[in-house]
Amino acid sequence: MRKLVGLIQDRPLVVTLSAFGLVLLHLALACLGIISNPWQALQDAADSGIAIYLGAASAAAIVAGFAGVVVVFGLTANSSRFRELRLKSGESLNKNWTSASVSGFAAAGLSLFAAILAGLQFQAASPWIFEWSILLLVHGTLRIIWLLRSLMKVVASDDAAADRQSKTRSYTKDSFK
C-alpha cells in the first residue's frame, strides 16, 4: 500500500495517464454494450452538455488559479525550513507543483474543447472528453490540497520555532533587568 501511495505522490503523470486509461476503458465497455452509456442524455441534448462543460471549465480554471497561488507561496517562502523542503524534495516536489497547476489548466481546456465539439454537433465525443477533464480536475484539486496541507505543516513548524526563539530572547532580556 505504501508503494502505491508513494507512486501516486511522486509520479503525478501516472495518475493522469491512469485517468485517461479509465476513460478509454469506460468508453470501450459502453460501446460494446457491456455497461450502459451514462452520457447518452448529454449526447442527445447538445445545449445542456455545453452548459455543463463550460461550468466545469470555470471550476477547473479556479483550481488552476488556486494551484498557482499555492505554488508561488511554496516557491517564495524564505525560511530555512522551506529551503530545506525544496532542496530535499527536489524533483518530486517540482513534479507535484507542476502537475497541480497543469491538471487544472488541462481540465479547463478539455472541458472547453468538449463544449466546442458539442456546439459543432460532435456530441458523441464530448462527454468522454468531459469525463477525462473531470478526473483531471479531481486529481489537481486533491493534489493541491495535499500540497497546501504539507506547506501548512512547514509554516506551523516555523511558527513554533519562532515562538520558542522569541520566548528565549524575552527570558534573557528579563533576566538582566
Domain ranges of the chain: 45-155
**For residue range 18-67, what is the model confidence (pLDDT) as tens digits?**
999 999 999 999 999 999 888 888 777 767 889 999 999 999 999 999 99
Q: Say if residue 77 is exposed, middle or buried (CB neighbours under 10 Å; 0-12, 13-18, 19+).
A: middle
Q: What is the pLDDT of residue 173?
A: 57
pTM of the predicted model as reported, rounded to 2 decimal places:
0.83
Output the nine-digit C-alpha cell for 62. 479556479
pLDDT at 175 over 60: no
